[in-house]
């Protein structure tokens, strides 16, 4: 299969077209059909698009938790979770989100970058529901010896915040 983008510049031109043609929802829906390298490139574009303006993704937040857990492509998970971080927390599907995020951070098959973004979102839920702080703290503490520098750094920051609210 040919690559959709061969460079960051190609991706940025693609994003410009998506914006000009108001095809953000098309991009989102196309990713949902593509658990493969093509979908990974589309998700990379979505993430960069959300860096410019991610407000449009808010309406898809609750849908994301329905399909993303079934995906195997780590790059798609990384890009989508990265794009979800600035969004408001789900109230309709908060239980699904919390369960999924705990699953992601505990899975040995999950890439480090995916875990970093999952921890960031989960920490927002924990601030809203402090009764989850102990569980998250213990998971991060237990995993610390196995984490690389990026995940260790993020975990330590989150653990500091958690220690202030733990019950």
This model's pTM is above 0.85: yes
Band of residue 133 on the pLDDT scale cut at 50, 70, 90: very high
DSSP collapsed to 3 states, 88-137 = CCCCCCHHHHHHHHHHHHHCCCCCHHHHHHHHHHHHHHHHHCHHHHHHHH
Q: What is the mean pLDDT of the chain?
A: 94
Is residue 1 pLDDT above 60, yes or no? no
Distance CA 91, CA 103 (A): 19
Residue pair 138/105 in contact (Cβ under 8 Å)? The answer is no
The dihedral formed by the CA atoms of 155, 150, 65 and 42, expressed in degrees to the nearest 10: 170
Band of residue 167 on the pLDDT scale cut at 50, 70, 90: low
Is residue 2 pLDDT above 60, yes or no? no
Q: Pick the closest to residue 140 from 167, 109, 164, 104 (CA basis).
A: 104
**Tens digit of each residue's pLDDT (9 = 90 or more) over 23-74:** 999 999 999 999 999 999 999 999 999 999 999 999 999 999 999 999 999 9
Band of residue 5 on the pLDDT scale cut at 50, 70, 90: confident
């Amino acid at each position: 299969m040919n690559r959709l983008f061969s460079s960051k510049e190609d991706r940025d031109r693609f994003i410009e077209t998506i914006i000009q043609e108001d095809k953000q929802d098309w991009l989102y829906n196309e990713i949902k059909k593509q658990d493969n390298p093509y979908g990974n490139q589309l998700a990379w574009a979505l993430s960069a698009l959300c860096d410019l303006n991610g407000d449009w993704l808010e309406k898809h937040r609750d849908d994301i938790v329905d399909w993303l857990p079934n995906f195997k492509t780590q790059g798609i998970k990384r890009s989508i979770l990265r794009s979800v971080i600035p969004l408001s927390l789900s109230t309709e599907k908060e239980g699904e989100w919390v369960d999924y995020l705990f699953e992601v951070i505990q899975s040995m098959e999950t890439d480090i970058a995916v875990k970093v973004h999952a921890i960031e979102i989960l920490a927002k839920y924990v601030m809203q529901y402090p009764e989850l702080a102990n569980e998250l703290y213990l998971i991060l503490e237990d995993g610390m010896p196995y984490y690389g520098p990026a995940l260790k750094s993020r975990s330590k920051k989150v653990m500091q915040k958690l220690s202030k609210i733990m019950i």
